[in-house]
Amino acid sequence: MEQQFFPIGTVVMLEGGEKRLMIYGILPINSDDNKTYDYIGCFYPEGFIDNDHCYLFNNEDIERVEYLGYVDVEQQEFRAKVAEMLTSQATGA
């Protein structure tokens, strides 16, 4: 099953969260453990404050989507390339 990613700018509430986050990156790698996450986000509406206020999370951590970010042809092409890359990695191609 193809994984879908929310576009940059999407505002979400995480399970058990108290503050909304805005997605500003897709498939970031945690430099501490080299683990890849689905998203990196920052507080909404404040935006990026500093590195201590950036949050890595996955689709399953999202309780609800408050606002869907901007979608255009470029974003759709990017999403298709990411899906192709993930499929290739999963199949070892």
- At 50-93, the pLDDT tens digits run 999 999 999 999 999 999 999 999 999 999 999 888 888 877 76
User: Domain for residue 5, yes or no?
Assistant: no
Other CB atoms within a 10 A radius of the CB of residue 51 amount to: 6
Please tell me the pTM assigned to this model: 0.88
Judged against a pLDDT cut of 90, whether residue 4 lies above it is answered with no
**Locate tokens 């999963």: which residue?**
90
Give residues with Cβ within 8 angstroms of 64, minimum separation 6: 12, 13
User: Domain for residue 4, yes or no?
Assistant: no
Report the pLDDT value the prediction gives residue 1, as an integer from 0 to 100: 44
Element holding 12 (H helix, E strand): strand 11-14
Pull the structure tokens for residue 67: 């606002």
Residue 73 sits in which domain range? 11-91
8-40: per-residue pLDDT in tens? 999 999 999 999 999 999 999 999 999 999 999
User: Domain for residue 39, yes or no?
Assistant: yes
* Domains in the chain, number: 1
